[in-house]
Amino acid sequence: MPTRRPDPARCLPSAEAQASRFARQREADRAATAEDYVELIADLIREEKEARAVVIARRMGVSQATVTATVARLQRDGLVETQPYRGLFLTEAGQQMAAAARARHELLVRFLIALGLDAETAEQDAEGLEHHVSDKALAVFGKFLEGR
Amino acid sequence: MPTRRPDPARCLPSAEAQASRFARQREADRAATAEDYVELIADLIREEKEARAVVIARRMGVSQATVTATVARLQRDGLVETQPYRGLFLTEAGQQMAAAARARHELLVRFLIALGLDAETAEQDAEGLEHHVSDKALAVFGKFLEGR
DNA sequence: TGCAAATCTTAGCCTACACTAAGTTTTGGA
DNA sequence: TCCAAAACTTAGTGTAGGCTAAGATTTGCA
Ligand SMILES: [Mn+2]
Ligand SMILES: [Mn+2]
Ligand SMILES: [Mn+2]
Ligand SMILES: [Mn+2]
């Protein structure tokens, strides 16, 4: 009987490796709200010329007070600038984050649809997956799309 | 010049549709910690006969105090039972959640690797993606795996 | 042009999930 | 057997991201 290597799927990773995966996850979680906001702000500016807090509240499904608080954090973090009653604006950093978020979002949606998922589910899933997919995985998805 | 339908990718979804996607996302986010804990607890029980809080702290990369607090919530939510100095146990509901989490996790890893991603990145990404992938998407991934 | 409605802010509250520091309890080995 | 180390809990703190209710400011239209 040959000594068989344990099935990797049935074998725990080292504590350190696992801990660092979870730590990276927590990182991504913390960044997710910022990404969704700047992506939405960029979309609104492109499609409707301005990004008003009311509209963001409506589209995020959240109260206006929550938007005020969240935007204050985004401003503190140098992603957004505000002029009350005049909408929100993205800083350079905010525009870069928005562009990256949009690219990830759209690639994911195209990938999921190419695999046979319906459009609405693809959009729904992409909204969450986009924050947890690595650049390496995105590259692999892109390659899949190219190869039909 | 034919009237052309707007490119869906360049067109905002309705406020209601978008809000409900984000709401679903927030749901998934809230469930993620519980899923990771019960999955880990199940793995530890299977691989090491018991799931001690210390070990969970080490593997989650988190303090023991954090584990105490989180486990209290899991217990409150009927997923886990505890006997101090004797490890953690899963309730029926906890076992079901763990099994589902494990299945999603493993399918995702196999899928990512099949697409050409390296194993470590696949594991890293799966740890986050697993909480945001719908059953429909998983079904599609499974089909892809079957078709080689 | 003036005021009602829309927009935005403030105040006060809550939960989840992190942390450190300082206990308490259990266990196992000399 | 007993005591030091390991395991666990408690207390106190902080931030993110939600909420409602109430107040302030601006806008637009009658
Ligand atoms: Mn998103
Ligand atoms: Mn998005
Ligand atoms: Mn996970
Ligand atoms: Mn997992």
pLDDT tens track of chain A, all 148 residues?
454 554 545 689 999 999 999 999 999 999 999 999 999 999 999 999 999 999 999 999 999 999 999 999 999 999 999 998 999 999 999 999 999 999 999 999 999 999 999 999 999 999 999 999 999 999 999 999 998 7
Q: Which amino acid is at B2?
A: P
Quote the domain boundaries for residue A72: 19-146
Partners of A12 on chain B (C-beta within 8 Å) are 43-44, 47-48, 59
Question: Contact B94/B34 with Cβ under 8 angstroms?
Answer: no
Give dist(CA A114, CA A119) in Å, integer: 10
Collapsing DSSP to helix, strand or coil, B51 comes out as: strand
Q: Does residue B104 lie in a domain region?
A: yes
**Which positions of strand C lie within 7 Å of protein CB atoms?**
6-12, 16-22, 25-27
Structural domain count, chain B: 1
Give dist(CA A35, CA B1) in Å, integer: 38
CATH of the domain at A34: 1.10.10.10
Q: Does residue A64 lie in a domain region?
A: yes
Give dist(CA A76, CA A113) in Å, integer: 37
Strand partners, A90: A80
Give the count of beta carbons closer than 10 Å to the beta carbon of residue B8: 10
Give dist(CA A52, CA A56) in Å, integer: 6
pTM exceeds 0.85 for this model? yes
Q: How far is the CA of A64 from the C1' of D22 (A)?
A: 14
Q: Does residue A43 lie in a domain region?
A: yes
